[in-house]
Structure 1
């Protein structure tokens, strides 16, 4: 058996959960601290990528969903 020696090209990486509100970096007020631990969703990150052979021939598109255990 021989390895494919494939290349991976990431098409997108999407954050599915964040402890901060959307647009927090633009100055949106943060929620008040309650002392409670945030509930992390089961899926936190999604990657889409294309796998190609060394000659550039694509052979697979993958969608990977990373869970809160990462």
Structure 2
């Protein structure tokens, strides 16, 4: 749903805009991982790989547009 707010072809012309969108996606994935997996002791120890996984899932529509 977030990718519908930003046109990837238009963002190719302004790389600074994509940088800030990346910061938003990274922050959102960090917050989601901390919120969903805070109670689980095993997944909270390995939260770094989950943050990377969530970031990749957010960016996939931009890669295949």
Q: Output the TM-score relative to the length of structure 2.
A: 0.27
TM-score by length of 1: 0.25
Structure with more of its chain in strand, by fraction: 1
Bigger helix fraction: 2
